[in-house]
Structure 1
Amino acid sequence: MSAASEAAPAPRQPLTLPVQGMSCGGCAKTVQRHLAEVPGVASVRVDHTEGVARIEPDGAGPARDALEAAVREAGYSVGDAGAEAPAVTADAPAEAPRSGAHAARVAQGVHELTVQGMSCASCVNRIETALSEVPGVRRASVNLASKSARVEAAPSVTPEQLTSAVREAGYDAKPAGSTGSAASAAAREDSGAWTEWLLFAGAALLTLPLMAQMLFPLVGIPGHLPPLLQLALALPVQVGAGWRFYRTTWKELKRRSVNMDTLVALGTSAAFGLSLFHTVTLGDAMIAWGAGGGLYYEAAAAVVTLVLLGRILETRATQRAGAAVAALAALRPDTVRVVRDGETQTIRVDDVALGDLVLVRAGERVPVDGVVRDGESHADESLVTGESKPVAKAAGDAVVAGSINNDGLLRIEATAVGAGTTLDRIIDLVRAAQASKPPVQRLVDRVASVFVPAVIAVAVVTGAGWAIAGAGAEVALLNAVAVLVIACPCALGLATPTAVMVGTGVAARNGVLIRDAASLEAARGVTTVIFDKTGTLTEGRPSVRAVEPVDAERDTLLRLAASAEQESTHPLASAVVAYARDAGITPGAPETVTTTAGKGIVARVEGRTLVLGNAAQMAAYGVPTEAGEATAQQHGDRGWSTIWVGEAGEGGDRKLLGLLGVGDALKDGAAEAVAAIKDLGLTPVMLSGDTQRTAEAVARELGIERVLAGVLPDGKVDEVKRLRRNGEVVAMVGDGINDAPALAAADVGIAMGGGTDVALQSAGIALMRGDPRLVPRAIGVSRRTYGKIRQNLFWAFVYNTVAIPVAAAGLLSPVIAGAAMALSSVSVATNSLLLNRDTQSREA
C-alpha cells in the first residue's frame, strides 16, 4: 500500500573506497561527514578498522575525483587499489557475509598481539614506535593494562613481522589466541600468579628481618644485625627477586632507552652497592653485632619487595578490568554434539560446519548462532545482549552463541560458526574498543615519552645538589634513590586504559557495544539526543487499532480493505491484512491495483472499485469525507494514521465505506528512557516522517517537547547538521540501517539493533537489543568512565608532581618512596574498578 507513504527505493549497487590514515571511530565519522556532502552520494558508512568507505550512490552516482577530494579535505588519503583495500567498485556487497566479519578484518590486516614485559607508559610508546616502523603498518595501539597490541596494516604484513619488531624492541609478543583456549590461558595466568606470589613471599621473608632492626630501639635492643647477615638476607632479594629489573634494564640500555624498571634497578642498585662497599671495608667487623648502622640493605630489599607486591596487585586489578572480555570468551563451550549421517557425534566447537544440526541440552550453552529446527525452551541471553529475562525459543526462532538453554532439548541448525558468530563479533568489537585510545591519551603519551629520562635527570641533579650543599655522599645518594623509586610512570600508563577497559566491559554486559574510546569520550559531552520514532521509540510494526464503519458492515469493510491490500508489501497494508486474518476473515485477491505514490491505491475487488489511502486520495477521486473527519481527527490526536476506504460506483456515485486507524505501539520502556535522558540534563528530540499532528501526539505520550515532523529520509542528515550548527552536541539514535547517514552525521551515532552486522558497524555505539532504555545507560557509562579517566590522570600527575620534589628535598626515605610508588599504580587501577560498583548502584 502507498497511502501516506513513499515508494520503496530501488536497490543501488554500492561503491567501495579504500581510505588510509584513519585511527579511530572519530576519524571514520569525519570521513563519512565529508563524503556524505559529495553530489551523487545517497549514504555512506566508513569502517576505520577495515580502512574502507562504503557508498550508496544516488542516481548516476558520485565522481571518483569528487570522492577523493572529499577524503583529502577530511585530512586522509585514498589507498591504492589492491594494496590497502579494494578500489572503487560497484560489484562488491555493502556488507561482508555474516560469517566472514572476522575474516574481513584479518584480510584487511587487523592483528592482535599479546605483549609481555611492559612495565610503564614508556614501554607502550616504544612498542608502538617499533610496530609503526614496520613497512605497511597504518596504525598501532598498545594497551598497558591488557598487555596487548592492535595493529592495522596492509594485507601483506604478517604476524611474524610484527612479533619480530616487538622482540627487537626488547619485549615478547605472540599473536592473540595462539596460546590455546580461554580456559588454558586462564590456567596459565593462575600459574603465573602463584609464581609471583611465591617470589614475593620469599622476598618478604628475607626483607622482614632487615626492616625489623629499625624497631630494635623501640624494644630495647641495641645496635643492628651484623653486616654480613644483612648482606646474606638482601643479596637473594636484590639478585633473585630483582633479576627481572636488571634483565629489562639491560635490554633497554642496549637500545639506548629507559623505562620504569630502569628506575627501580638504578635506585636499588645504588643503595645495595653503597651498603656492599661499606660492608667490605668493615673488615673483621662484618660479623659483629651493631656494626651495620650505616648500611641501607633494608632500603634496597624493601623497594624490590614492595614493587613486586605492587606489580602483583596491579596485575590482578588490570585482569579484573578486562574481565568482561574474559567472561564473554568463556561463554563458548569447547565441545559440541552434532548429528551427522544420522549419528550423534561429539566434536570440537571449531569443527562445526554451517548447516550442521547441533544438539543443546537443558543447562548447556549454545555453541553457535543458528535457527531452532526442533524443540522448545527458554534461552538466557543476558551475557550476550544484556537482557535478563529468558527468551522463549521454538522452531524457527534464532539463537545466539553463548546463551544458555534453560529447559528442554533444542536441535539447532548452525547459521554462523567460529569467528562469524555474534558472540565472537562482540568480543572483537570490545577488544578493539579497549585497545583504542581517547584523544585525552595523546597528552599522556607525550608526557610518558620523556618521563623516565626526566626523572633520571632530576635524580642526578638531586644527588649533585645535596653533595654540593655539604650533606655528604650517603645523604645525597639516598635522596637521589628516593627520587628514582618514587616516580611512577605506571600510574600514567594505566590511568586511561584501565578505565576504558572497565567502562567498555560494563557497557558490554548491559548490551551496549562501544566501538572505540573516541566514541566513549564523545558521548559524555552530548547535549541533545535525537530519536528516530519508528523502530526506536515505537515497535516499528504498525497494527490496526480501530475499525470505523460508515456505509458498510464492519466485517465487509475489513474484507474489502484487506483484499485490496492483499498484494502490497507496505507495513500499513500488512497490518490491515494481518488484522483481518486474526479476525477470521480470509481476504481475496484483487483483480487490479493501481498505486498513486504518496496517496494510496485504487483496487478492483469483488467487482467493486475501491479507493484506499489518505484524505488527498479521497479528494482526488471525489469520495466525500465529511462523515469521517471527526473520527480521523481523533485518530490523529492518538498518534494514529488513518486509512480511508471509499468506493467509486459505476454510475459515478462516490461513497465513504469507513476508516481504519493504524498505530505503532510504543516500546516498553520508551517513556522511561526519555525521562532518564532528561534526568541526565539532556534534551530529547523526536524525528519522524509523520505529520506534525501525529508526531506530536506520540511525543506527548512520551514526554518529548521538541518534535521534528514530516522529515523525509534524506532530510534526517540536514536536521542533524542544523542542530550541530546551532552549537548542540548531538547523539542520533536510529535502527542502524535506514538511518546510517544521520548516524554518521551526528557527534555520536547510536545504532539500535539486535546484534546484526549493520547495527554493529554503522555507529560509534551499538545497542544489542531494541530497548531505548539502553541509550541513557550508554551515555551514563560514558560519563562515569570519562570521570574515572580524569580522576586517574589527576592523581597520576599530582602524585608525580608532588612526590618527586618531596623526595628530592630529602623528606622521604627510599622505603617510604617505594611503598608510595607501588601504591600509586594500584590505586589508579582500583579506582577504575569502582566503575563496576558505581554502575551497579545506579542501575539498582
Structure 2
Amino acid sequence: MTSTVASTRPAELQASPPPTIQIDLGIGGMTCASCVTRVEKALRKQAGVSDASVNLATETARVTLAAQDEAQALARVKRAVRDAGYEPRSREAGDDVAEPHWHSVPSSFLPVLLGVVLSAPLVVPMVGDLFGRHWMLPAWVQFLLATPVQFVLGARFYRAGWHALKAFTGNMELLVAIGTTAGWALSTWLWWRAEPGEMVHLYYEASAVVITLVLLGKWLEVRAKRQTTVAIRALQALRPERAHLLPDGVRRTELTDVPVDELLPGDVVRVLPGERFAADGDVVQGRTQADESMLTGEAMPVSKELGDLVTGGSLNGEGAVDVRVRAIGAQSVLARIIGLVQDAQATKAPVQRMVDQVAAVFVPVVLAIALITLVSWLWTGAPAEEALLHAVAVLVIACPCALGLATPTAIMAGTGVAAQHGILIKDAQALEIAHQVDTVAFDKTGTLTEGHPRLLVIEAVPGVDELAVLHTAAALQAQSAHPLARAVLAAALARSIEVLPDAAHEVQSVSGRGSEGRVNGTLLALGSLRWMDELGAALGPLDERARALQAQGATVSVLASQAPGDAAAAATWTPLALLAFGDEPKAGAAQAIADLRAQGMRLYMISGDNRGAALAMAARLGLRGNDGEVIAEVLPGDKAAMVRKLKAPGAGERLHTVAMVGDGVNDAPALAAADVGMAMSHTQGGGSDVAMHAAGITLMRGDPMLVAAALDISRRTVSKIRQNLFWAFAYNVAGIPLAALGYLSPVVAGAAMALSSVSVVSNALLLKRWKPPVR
C-alpha cells in the first residue's frame, strides 16, 4: 500500500534529492592502482558518502557526500584515509607532488643515494665475475650492507604492505616486501647453514638492488609527475600578492599597498606598467594594453581603455591605469579557470574505471602466479633457492604502478597544455568523448560572426521620419543587452540622439521574437518578420524591400505600432519601418570551417535569423546551405531539440556524436543537449558564463579555430591514454611469463618495474609539446 501511494504522489510533492557537498584532500603514500582502489573503497564505506574518486597522479581525492557539518565530514574522511594506511593532507599539499616526505614517497634523493652506496659493494663482485675476477665479499659484510637497505630504507614497503594485508587487499609495496624479504631470508638461511669456511652463493645483492631501484623509480616518477602540474602552478603564480589601493577620501587619504586578499568589490586600485592586474575589474582611468596570453592563449596584447574589463592575473603593458574591482577570490576569472582545470584533473575518465577493476584483482592474481612458479620449479627438481628467486622475480616485475598512472597523467598533461592555449576542459569525460565527435553544430551570432551587428538601413513608411523611428526604437531597446538592441543604441548615439532611461514603459522581451513596450503612450513592437506575421502586421509596400534586404544577407526587424484604444483581441499592428542589421564573419571562421570539413566532420550552422540572412552568411563562411548545413529560423528554446535531431543516425549509419559551439545564455540548453558542449567566452559575466557552466569545454577566446584545436588535443590525449594502457598491460603480459620461466633475475625485474611507470609518465609528458593549429 505504501509503495502504491508513493508511486502516485504528484511529482512536486516527491522528496527532492538531498543537497551534497564536495571535499577535496591530498593523500600521501599511494603508489599504484591498487592503492587507488583501496582508498576509494574505504571512503565509500563512510556514512553519507555517495561517491569518491581518487587520482594517483595528483595524489588527491574528491569525495561527494550529503550536506552536513563540513568540518566533521572532513574529519571523518581523513580518519578513513588514515585507517586505510595512507596519509591525509590538504588539497594544496596534494597538488604539490614534488615535496612529499621522503619516507612516504621519496622525492629527496637522499634515500636513493644511501641505497646506491650500500648496494654498490654487493654489485661490484657480480661485475668482476664477468671479467674472471673473484671479489666476493664475506657473508657477514654482505649481511651488514643489505640489512639496512632491506629494513630501514625498505621500511615503507613493510608499513604499506601490512596495511594492505589488514584490509585483505594487495598493492605494489606488498609485492616488493614479500619478494625482497624472500631473497634476504634465503641468503641469511644459506649463510647460517653453511659450514665454516664454505663459500656459498648469496642473493643479498638482489634484494638490496631491487629496493634501491624501486626508490630510484619513485623519485624519477615524482619528478616527472610534477611536470604534469606545471599548468596549474603557472596559473596560480599569476596572481600578485599585493595591490596599490587608492585613497577613498574617508579612511584612506593616500595610496596604500595591501594584500590582494583584502580587496573588496568597489575598491579602486592602481596598476603600474609591467605589473599584473590584482583583480577582475574595469578601467576607470588611463589606457594601456594587457597581455592575457596565460589566460586565453591570445599572444597579441589587448587594448584597454576607459570602461574596458580587465582580468586579474593578466600583465599590464606600458600605461598606468586605475581599475575598479568587480570580482575577487573564487568569483574571479583566474580562480574559475584554475578550478575548471583542477576539476578536470580530479575527475576519472570512463576508461579508468575499467583499469580500476583490473587493479582490484591484480595483486592477488600475481601472488597466485608467484606461488605456482615456486611450486612448478620445485616440482621439476630445481633447487629451492632457484625456485624462490624465480618466484621473487614474478613478484617484483608485476607492479601495477604503470596501470594506475597511464590515464591520469595523460589527462593532466592534456588538460594542462590545453588550458595554456585557452581551452578549458571541464571534466575527463568531455575530453574522452570529444575525440569521437563527427558532427559540429555552430550557433551563428557571436560564434561564427563578430556578434556586433550594425544598423545598416532604416526604411520608414511614407510620412514617418527616419530619426523619429531611430529615437523610438532606441527608447524601446534602452534596457536590452541583445546584440541587435546594442546596434540600435550605437546608431542613435552616432546621430547624437539622446535616449532617456525611462523613455519606455511596460517593456518586455518576447523570447526569440523581439520586444514590446510603450513609448509616449503608444504600444510598440520591434522584432522579426516572423513575429510580425504572428501579430498580423501586413508589411504592404515594405514587403518587397524586406525580401531584397534579406537576400543581401541582412537581418531584418520591423517596428510596428498598435493604435491606442483597440481591444487586445482585435488589435491591429501597423508597420512603421524596417531596420536592417549586418554582421561580419570572424577572422578565421571560414578557415576553421574548412579545416573541420577536411577532417570529415559534418557541419551545421543553427541560427534564429531568417533563412535568407543565414544562407548569405553561410556562403561567406564556406557552409553549404543547399546541402542542409544551414538550419535557420530556430527559436532559442528549439536549439536543444535540433541538436538531439542531429545525433540521430541516418540509414545505415551509427549514432552521431555531436559537438555544439555557442556563446550566449540561450545556447545553454543546446550545449547541455550535445555530447560535447563548447562555450566561447568573450567577457566576464553575462550569457557566456551561463554557457560555460552548461558546456564540457570552454574556449577562452572567441576564435572558431579553437574548436578544431579542442578536438585535436582530445584525440591526442586519448591516443596517449591508449598507448600508456597498452604498454602497461603489455609490460605485465610479457614480463610475468619471462620471470616465471626463469629468463629474468630479480635485479633485472626490479629495473624494468622501476622504469615502467617512469616511461608511462614520460610518454604522457610528450603532450606538453602540443600546439593548436596556426591560422
TM-score, L = length of structure 2:
0.85
Please give the alpha-carbon distance, in whole angstroms, between the structure 1 residues aligned to 2:725 and 2:107: 31
**One-letter amino acid of the structure 1 residue matched with residue 255 of structure 2:** T
Please give the alpha-carbon distance, in whole angstroms, between the structure 1 residues aligned to 2:657 and 2:723: 24
- Confirm or deny: 8 A CA contact 1:538 1:666 kept in the other structure: yes
Please give the alpha-carbon distance, in whole angstroms, between the structure 2 residues aligned to 1:223 and 1:592: 101
Cα gap change, 1:68/1:775 in structure 2, threshold over 3 Å: closer, same or farther?
Answer: farther
- Confirm or deny: 8 A CA contact 1:732 1:743 kept in the other structure: yes
1:512-566 CA-to-partner distances (Å, cap 9, x unmatched) read 22221111111111111111112211222220235679979xxx96524312313
1:347, distance to aligned residue in structure 2 (A) = 3.1
**One-letter amino acid of the structure 1 residue matched with residue 760 of structure 2:** V
Number of the residue aligned with 2:756: 824
Number of the residue aligned with 1:50: none
1:450-504 CA-to-partner distances (Å, cap 9, x unmatched) read 1111111110110111011101101100100100000121111111111111111
Number of the residue aligned with 2:77: 162
Question: Does the alignment pair 1:458 with 2:369?
Answer: yes
1:332, distance to aligned residue in structure 2 (A) = 1.7
Q: Mean alpha-carbon deviation: is it higher for 703-712 or for 369-378?
A: 369-378
Please give the alpha-carbon distance, in whole angstroms, between the structure 2 residues aligned to 1:113 and 1:304: 29
Match of 1:713 among 614, 636, 646: 636
Number of the residue aligned with 1:321: 228
- Confirm or deny: 8 A CA contact 2:555 2:610 kept in the other structure: no
1:718, distance to aligned residue in structure 2 (A) = 1.8
1:283, distance to aligned residue in structure 2 (A) = 5.5
Q: Share of identical aligned residues, percent? A: 45
Please give the alpha-carbon distance, in whole angstroms, between the structure 2 residues aligned to 1:416 and 1:520: 29
Q: Mean alpha-carbon deviation: is it higher for 212-221 or for 790-799?
A: 212-221
1:610-650 CA-to-partner distances (Å, cap 9, x unmatched) read 99985996997777538x84x655533442124579999xx
Question: Does the alignment pair 1:239 with 2:154?
Answer: no
Cα gap change, 1:611/1:300 in structure 2, threshold over 3 Å: closer, same or farther?
Answer: closer
Cα gap change, 1:154/1:637 in structure 2, threshold over 3 Å: closer, same or farther?
Answer: same
Question: Does the alignment pair 1:272 with 2:204?
Answer: no
Please give the alpha-carbon distance, in whole angstroms, between the structure 2 residues aligned to 1:805 and 1:151: 39
Please give the alpha-carbon distance, in whole angstroms, between the structure 2 residues aligned to 1:115 and 1:593: 58
1:656, distance to aligned residue in structure 2 (A) = 11
Number of the residue aligned with 1:563: 471
Please give the alpha-carbon distance, in whole angstroms, between the structure 2 residues aligned to 1:406 and 1:582: 30
Match of 1:670 among 567, 589, 610: 589
SS of residue in 2 equivalent to 1:826: helix
Q: Mean alpha-carbon deviation: is it higher for 510-519 or for 216-225?
A: 216-225
Number of the residue aligned with 2:711: 779
Taking the TM superposition and a 5 Å limit, the aligned residue runs for 1:803-842 are: 803-837=735-769, 839-840=770-771
Q: Mean alpha-carbon deviation: is it higher for 814-823 or for 565-574?
A: 565-574
Number of the residue aligned with 1:295: 202
Please give the alpha-carbon distance, in whole angstroms, between the structure 2 residues aligned to 1:404 and 1:478: 61
Taking the TM superposition and a 5 Å limit, the aligned residue runs for 1:335-374 are: 335-339=242-246, 341-374=252-285
Please give the alpha-carbon distance, in whole angstroms, between the structure 1 residues aligned to 2:541 and 2:499: 25
SS of residue in 2 equivalent to 1:370: strand
Cα gap change, 1:256/1:191 in structure 2, threshold over 3 Å: closer, same or farther?
Answer: closer
Number of the residue aligned with 2:565: none
Number of the residue aligned with 2:666: 738
- Confirm or deny: 8 A CA contact 1:599 1:617 kept in the other structure: no
Please give the alpha-carbon distance, in whole angstroms, between the structure 2 residues aligned to 1:538 and 1:141: 41
**One-letter amino acid of the structure 2 residue matched with residue 111 of structure 1:** I
1:239, distance to aligned residue in structure 2 (A) = 2.5
Please give the alpha-carbon distance, in whole angstroms, between the structure 2 residues aligned to 1:593 and 1:442: 56
Please give the alpha-carbon distance, in whole angstroms, between the structure 2 residues aligned to 1:405 and 1:336: 13
Number of the residue aligned with 1:175: 90
- Confirm or deny: 8 A CA contact 1:688 1:709 kept in the other structure: yes
- Confirm or deny: 8 A CA contact 2:246 2:256 kept in the other structure: yes
1:13-66 CA-to-partner distances (Å, cap 9, x unmatched) read xxxxxxxxxxxxxxxxxxxxxxxxxxxxxxxxxxxxxxxxxxxxxxxxxx9944
- Confirm or deny: 8 A CA contact 1:638 1:698 kept in the other structure: no
- Confirm or deny: 8 A CA contact 2:58 2:97 kept in the other structure: no
Cα gap change, 1:64/1:348 in structure 2, threshold over 3 Å: closer, same or farther?
Answer: farther
Cα gap change, 1:548/1:285 in structure 2, threshold over 3 Å: closer, same or farther?
Answer: farther
1:816, distance to aligned residue in structure 2 (A) = 1.0
Please give the alpha-carbon distance, in whole angstroms, between the structure 2 residues aligned to 1:191 and 1:427: 30
- Confirm or deny: 8 A CA contact 1:688 1:710 kept in the other structure: yes
- Confirm or deny: 8 A CA contact 2:246 2:254 kept in the other structure: yes
Please give the alpha-carbon distance, in whole angstroms, between the structure 2 residues aligned to 1:824 and 1:545: 65
- The gaps in structure 1 that reach 5 residues or longer are 1-62, 70-76, 86-107, 649-654
Cα gap change, 1:254/1:190 in structure 2, threshold over 3 Å: closer, same or farther?
Answer: closer
Cα gap change, 1:565/1:261 in structure 2, threshold over 3 Å: closer, same or farther?
Answer: same
Cα gap change, 1:192/1:479 in structure 2, threshold over 3 Å: closer, same or farther?
Answer: closer
- The gaps in structure 2 that reach 5 residues or longer are 1-7, 563-573, 650-654
Question: Does the alignment pair 1:679 with 2:598?
Answer: yes
SS of residue in 1 equivalent to 2:446: helix
Cα gap change, 1:616/1:477 in structure 2, threshold over 3 Å: closer, same or farther?
Answer: closer
Question: Does the alignment pair 1:636 with 2:636?
Answer: no
Cα gap change, 1:162/1:662 in structure 2, threshold over 3 Å: closer, same or farther?
Answer: same
**One-letter amino acid of the structure 1 residue matched with residue 391 of structure 2:** A
Number of the residue aligned with 2:568: none
1:717, distance to aligned residue in structure 2 (A) = 2.0
Match of 2:167 among 236, 255, 259: 255
Q: Mean alpha-carbon deviation: is it higher for 637-646 or for 333-342?
A: 637-646
Number of the residue aligned with 1:793: 725
1:675, distance to aligned residue in structure 2 (A) = 1.9
**One-letter amino acid of the structure 1 residue matched with residue 632 of structure 2:** A
1:364, distance to aligned residue in structure 2 (A) = 2.0
SS of residue in 2 equivalent to 1:285: coil
**One-letter amino acid of the structure 1 residue matched with residue 599 of structure 2:** L
- Confirm or deny: 8 A CA contact 2:107 2:222 kept in the other structure: no
Taking the TM superposition and a 5 Å limit, the aligned residue runs for 1:254-653 are: 254-282=166-194, 284-285=196-197, 291=199, 294-339=201-246, 341-545=252-456, 558-569=466-477, 571=482, 572=484, 574-582=486-494, 614=529, 625=541, 629=544, 632=546, 635-642=549-556
* RMSD after superposition: 3.7
1:651-699 CA-to-partner distances (Å, cap 9, x unmatched) read xxxx999965421222222212212222332111000112222211111
Number of the residue aligned with 1:213: 125
- Confirm or deny: 8 A CA contact 2:537 2:575 kept in the other structure: no
Please give the alpha-carbon distance, in whole angstroms, between the structure 2 residues aligned to 1:196 and 1:266: 25
Aligned residues: 730
Please give the alpha-carbon distance, in whole angstroms, between the structure 2 residues aligned to 1:533 and 1:236: 69
